[in-house]
Structure 1
């Protein structure tokens, strides 16, 4: 049931959208000057409010300050600086070659704003995953409604407070609220919807968009596999695995390694190496570590605890498993060779639990991976080029990290996005600009120079000439022209 505040917001939604549509029609958002002003304003917002942003992130989800700086503040700042640096290049028309049939003329592709965009952001990176798509939308010249996650209300409130202080409120609006507000927003006609979250809600968003034929970018999740063979340095691998699994939002990340597939001759040694690395990173009692976050809320805590309490999983815990409801903390946990039909292997974990599955070679690992929907990320730990190529060509995934986890997210030149159930569309760097742009093809011609053969009536000679032109038979063109002259 909607609260009184939500009812007020729901009632205001249609007018908010109309006002933004009016702004887009005015043409102001198309100018490079306006776009640059907004991007610089976002950079100023982040730089002047860094401490407050880090504080509210910690308040909502318990993310350590250093981690919040690296994974939210730094990435958002870098994204904004790149857009400021490259904006004019991104906006510039791109010349393309023409065919003989269009001669004489020139052709180009002009990127234009899609219009008014709805951005629905998640709770696990509550600042970054709100601001980063907004950067792309404003760079592209769109007006925006940002709907932050209600699961992180303090971050949402701060965004609603700061964005009007720095950005053009005629073109950027923050709308807060829960399900009733999202429902009202999805009922409107948008020019673009950008959603980051789970596949279940992604389907709802896509169904709503389909009513208006609205293009969507869906950044979803899934079970991200990590294959590791006996050719790698296990100590280095364990450090990178532990950083990717527990060092970023305590596993509450869509590209966190969800399960390991390990060759049987190294599984025991890898388990022991990961155990030692966890102690090295977080101490003998990880619940006291200042570098380890907590579960976002009691609902997700109970969900994760339920996965561990499943009898077939509980008997397979080889490390960790401790749960503290009061502090919403779950220790880094290793589960060895849990059956594939248990709940922990049938859904995305999104937490600090790491199943390890023993396999006999890369072919068996691929068989397991292919049992699940296409993942958002695939991680390959090997020094064998043949194995790397086998997995790269045999497994479809949104992105791939080879001998590394998570870090591909921070490379702006790489498109970040899913495939199949893990999402559609991509962003980051210029890909963010493209996500909110329409590529308009334009052919320019003057008033002269037309080839008479283009126009009726079509004689046999004209038909022959046109056929030779469109097929690139230049010798045939010459022969036809000589025949016509005779």
Structure 2
């Protein structure tokens, strides 16, 4: 709390008055009821405005991200601006198709009833952002919410104060202030927001806060999407290319200084491969951050820990480990610098294995083989991401078939987040609900079932005659007609069931 307050003050972030929050939400709810956001063209225009906000102010966002996270221009463009803009473009181009009512085949009995599924906006939605990717995980869900036709309240994280301030300054210069608003603040302001009624709440962060949000939402029976993270493991098999695996794992762990919800949290690897793998990590480390150029601390490609509170938390983990630091380990609290650090021979009860690291520490836990790795993974909470490096197709199949996670990736780290065609989300303690691309549109839409039963004219009379057997007085003869109309029958063979006595091998209940 203190670190967040300090960051916001340093950025000059103005908090929204708490007594103004109910009115802001009320105005958004009233705006939704005008029907303005139901227009597909209106939604497209708002999304285009959002894209131009990032295009017009790219350098401003790069500067704010550098101030908040020590980010390089490359990481800010690659991880935030490029992906977010591409998602907006894709959404604009595909929105007509996504929003088009679907007409499923409901069977001959209902062929004249116009069975339709309409993707309709839910109402007023709340997006609670996270500080580690202040554009991608804050504005990303807003794209889907706008596309689906909702009015939106965004609450950026005050921890990334400079970016929150910039968003607040630009938001309603580009987006319609009647339908899209920002509230800034800390815990009191967030609590005041959560006391209001919404039709959907989207939160990215940790499980502790996620439970609070789910409890608050339950008051209104409000659906939630929770993106919560967790310890995302990597298994490196004996059939893997260790050099490639080392480069991609070290990149995934050091990107944004490890402050990524799907960063590889720890590595499982057969005992006999650990030393060779460490050697390859050292080669990759030297390639990423050459000592001749001053190493990682002098590199413009390496970010910083968000604040001193998180730096102290990570340093305590590092100080408490009983594993062997084989790479990195140096840090500077004043600069919020902590080098990518590899810790070998880590035991399951080590300090770095107790919770999500969310920083540049990479523990290596030696195991016997892929089965031992899978057993270890399955003994813990389901992670948001799960990574495998293997060349053996049987190992790949076993790993995918016998684990659970929000996503599973073979041969790389992080990149599945950038594939908008794939839904992104967790399972179990790592969260629930999906977003990205069409998944975002679907997440913020209500799939409204509708029938248009003929009730007038000649067709209405025909349908009435066909369906008349549903009316009282009920008789066996009328039930027989309804069964025939609904094709109510079971014609497949009976499966083996050790809990039942032998009966006929097949059954048909149509009559």
TM-score, length of structure 1 as denominator length: 0.94
The change in CA–CA distance for 1:311 and 1:281 in structure 2 (over 3 A counts) is: closer
Name the residue aligned to 2:495: none
- In structure 2, distance between residues paired with 1:191 and 1:116: 6
**Which residue does 1:295 correspond to in 2?**
305
Q: Do 1:137 and 1:144's aligned partners in 2 also have CA atoms closer than 8 Å?
A: yes
Change (3 A) 1:389 1:41: same
Partner of 1:334: 342
Q: 1:87 Cα shift?
A: 0.6
Q: Secondary structure at the match of 2:425?
A: coil
Question: 1:35 Cα shift?
Answer: 0.3
| 1:344 is the counterpart of 2:352 | yes
Partner of residue 94 from structure 2, selected from 72, 79, 86: 86
Matched, 1:224 2:232: yes
Query: In structure 2, the residue corresponding to 1:261 is in which secondary structure?
Result: strand
Tell me, yes or no, if structure 1 residue 233 matches structure 2 residue 249: no
For 2:480, the equivalent position in structure 1 comes to: 464
> Once the two structures are superposed, what CA deviation does each residue of 1:399-438 show, in whole Å capped at 9, x if it has no partner?
1111111000000110000001111100000000011110
Given the alignment of the two structures, is residue 411 of structure 1 paired with residue 416 of structure 2, yes or no? Answer: no
Contact 1:119–1:194 at 8 Å: present in 2 too?
yes
> How many Å separate the matches in 1 of 2:489 and 2:106?
16
Distance verdict in 2 for CA 1:241–1:190, change over 3 Å: same
- Aligned residues between the structures: 474
The Cα offsets for residues 324-371 of structure 1, whole Å up to 9 and x where unpaired, read as 112111111111122211221010000110001111101111122122
Q: Decide whether the 8 Å contact of 1:98 with 1:105 is kept in 2.
A: no
Q: Which residue of 1 aligns with 2:284?
A: 277
1:265 deviates by 2.4
Equivalence for 2:261: 254
Structure 2 residue 433 is matched with structure 1 residue 425: yes
C-alpha contact 1:97 1:106 (8 A) present in aligned 2: no
Q: Tell me, what secondary structure is at the counterpart of 1:106?
A: coil
Counterpart position of 1:268:
275
Residues 383, 430 of structure 2: 8 Å contact kept: yes
Q: Which residue of 2 aligns with 1:484?
A: none
What residue is the counterpart of 1:201 in the other structure?
Answer: 209
Give the Cα separation in 1 of the matches to 2:355 and 2:237: 25
In the TM superposition, residue 458 of structure 1 has moved relative to its aligned partner by 3.0
Q: How far is the alpha carbon of 1:90 from its aligned partner?
A: 0.9
CA shift digits 1:387-406 (9 cap, x unpaired): 11111121110011111110
Change (3 A) 1:203 1:6: farther
1:72 positional shift:
0.2
Q: 1:84-125: CA deviations, max 9, x gaps? A: 000111110001112344353221100110110110100100
TM-score (norm 2): 0.90
Does the CA contact (< 8 Å) of 2:241 and 2:390 recur in 1? no
Match of 2:330 among 322, 327, 333: 322
Query: Which runs of 5 or more structure 2 residues have no equivalent in the other structure?
Result: 492-509
- CA distance in 2 between partners of 1:199 and 1:283 (Å): 38
Matching residue of 1:64: 72
* Equivalent residue, structure 1, for 2:499: none
Match of 2:36 in 1: 28
RMSD of aligned Cα (Å): 1.9
Runs of 4+ in 1 over 6 A off after TM superposition: 1-7
Structure-1 residue corresponding to 2:503:
none
Once residues 215 and 474 of structure 1 are traced to their aligned partners in structure 2, the CA distance between those partners, rounded to angstroms, is 37
Partner-residue secondary structure (3-state), 1:367: helix
2 CA distance for matches of 1:319 and 1:40?
46
Q: Which residue of 2 aligns with 1:116?
A: 124
- Are the structure 2 counterparts of residues 403 and 8 from structure 1 closer, same or farther at C-alpha, using a change threshold of 3 Å? closer
